[in-house]
């Protein structure tokens, strides 16, 4: 009997990273759900918090989405009391800022993200995932 099994497929870093990214996003969304946040909503709130006077166009570029989508998302954040939009009138520049409630929510979200980091990349995590985290930290000097 011969061993005519096909060789395993060549491992693609892109596919491995994409698979890991989806796992991370799933874990983050689960951790953020009790805060009524998603990864994308957290990202938008975070951008608003760290870029004073950010425009809708800048938010769209940073988020990789359309200006229309950002307008809709910011409107939802305003409705939830998480940000203020000081738009003088339609078509004019906006000054979007995080409210105290938005800042409180961001802090709670940071804690949730830290728990996911610990679970997925901490000392008890899969050694391969720990090595990936080390490489990411080194690449971005975090």
**pTM summary value:** 0.81
pLDDT in tens, 24-60: 999 999 999 999 999 999 999 999 999 877 888 999 9
What integer pLDDT is reported at residue 88 of this predicted model? 55
What integer pLDDT is reported at residue 10 of this predicted model? 65
Domains and CATH numbers, the chain: 28-113 (1.10.10.10)
Query: What is residue 98's three-state secondary structure?
Result: strand
Confidence category of residue 3, pLDDT binned at 50, 70, 90: low
Alpha-carbon dihedral angle through residues 93, 42, 14, 138, given to the nearest 10 degrees: 100
Query: What is residue 84's three-state secondary structure?
Result: strand
What integer pLDDT is reported at residue 93 of this predicted model? 65
């Amino acid at each position: 009997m011969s061993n005519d099994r096909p060789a395993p497929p060549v491992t693609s870093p892109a596919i491995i990273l994409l698979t890991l990214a989806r796992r991370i996003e799933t874990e983050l969304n689960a951790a953020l759900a009790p805060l009524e946040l998603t990864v994308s909503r957290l990202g938008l709130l975070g951008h608003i918090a760290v870029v004073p006077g950010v425009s809708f166009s800048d938010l769209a570029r940073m988020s990789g989405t359309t200006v229309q989508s950002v307008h809709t998302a910011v409107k939802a954040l305003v409705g939830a009391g998480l940000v203020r939009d000081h738009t003088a009138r339609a078509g004019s520049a906006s000054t979007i800022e995080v409210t105290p409630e938005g800042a409180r929510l961001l802090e709670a979200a940071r804690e949730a993200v830290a728990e996911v980091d610990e679970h997925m990349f901490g000392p008890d995590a899969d050694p391969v995932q720990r090595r990936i985290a080390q490489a990411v930290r080194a690449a971005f000097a975090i």
